[in-house]
């Protein structure tokens, strides 16, 4: 039994020694990497003789203050506020998807707050357009908001039918 144990240990020692010799003899495992680095060092593509591209300077512009408006003043309005059509994100939603959640009065103006299905809150005032059909906010009260909706009349040539939609105050989410 002792001889059997000695034979097994001798085989293990020889096996370990051969593994060490084989692993130490792998000097050529990085030769391809070393050859690539030598090639890069000798190539002309990275040489210091490459000319630097010429930088072009921008042409200076003359500022003529007497011909232009002051940059600190608002530009003049081209159309009156009553004729201007505002577009806002609330025109992307149908009226039944919008919820009225509160008001704020500042001076003589009352603002209403509308929440959309994606939980974004928007401020509106009388005259603003909301809803897919371009409905107009006509009045804002602390507990409700009235919106005018115009629908086409089924009878040819007649005026559109106007109806008032009321959004009641709801709790915020």
The tens digit of pLDDT for each residue in 5-32 reads: 788 888 888 887 777 766 665 566 678 8
Question: The sheet that has 99-106: what strands, in order across it?
Answer: 99-106, 109-115, 121-124
**Size of the chain, expressed as the number of residues it contains:** 173
- Domain presence at residue 102: yes
Q: How far apart are CA 18 and CA 48, in angstroms?
A: 49
pLDDT surpassing 60 at residue 62: yes
Distances (CA, A) of 8 to 5, 11, 12, 109: 5, 5, 6, 99
CATH of the domain at 146: 2.30.30.830
- Domain presence at residue 3: no
Residue range 111-141, pLDDT digits in tens: 999 999 999 999 999 999 998 888 999 999 9
- Domain presence at residue 160: yes
Q: What percent of the chain has pLDDT over 70?
A: 80
Look up tokens 């629908």; give the residue.
Answer: 151
Domain limits at 134?
89-168
- Domain presence at residue 148: yes
- Domain presence at residue 108: yes
Q: How far apart are CA 128 and CA 114, in angstroms?
A: 12
What total of structural domains would you count in the chain?
Answer: 1
- Domain presence at residue 115: yes
- Domain presence at residue 163: yes
Q: How many secondary structure helices (H) and strands (E) does the chain include?
A: 2, 7
In the chain, beta strands by DSSP E: 99-106, 109-115, 121-124, 129-130, 135-140, 144-151, 161-168
Stated pTM of the model: 0.47
């Amino acid at each position: 039994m002792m001889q059997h144990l000695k034979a097994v240990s001798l085989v293990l020692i020889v096996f370990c020694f051969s593994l060490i010799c084989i692993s130490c003899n792998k000097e050529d495992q990085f030769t391809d990497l070393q050859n690539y680095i030598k090639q890069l060092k000798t190539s002309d593509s990275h040489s210091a003789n490459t000319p630097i591209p010429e930088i072009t300077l921008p042409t200076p512009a003359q500022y003529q203050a007497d011909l232009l408006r002051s940059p600190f003043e608002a530009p003049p309005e081209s159309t009156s506020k009553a004729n201007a059509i505002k577009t806002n994100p609330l025109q992307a939603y149908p009226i039944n998807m919008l919820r009225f959640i509160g008001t704020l009065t500042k001076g003589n103006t009352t603002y209403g707050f509308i929440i959309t299905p994606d939980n974004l809150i928007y401020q509106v005032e009388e005259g603003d357009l909301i809803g897919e059909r371009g409905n107009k906010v006509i009045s804002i009260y602390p507990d409700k908001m009235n919106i005018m909706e115009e629908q086409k009349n089924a009878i040819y040539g007649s005026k559109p039918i106007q109806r008032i939609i009321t959004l009641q105050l709801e709790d915020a989410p």
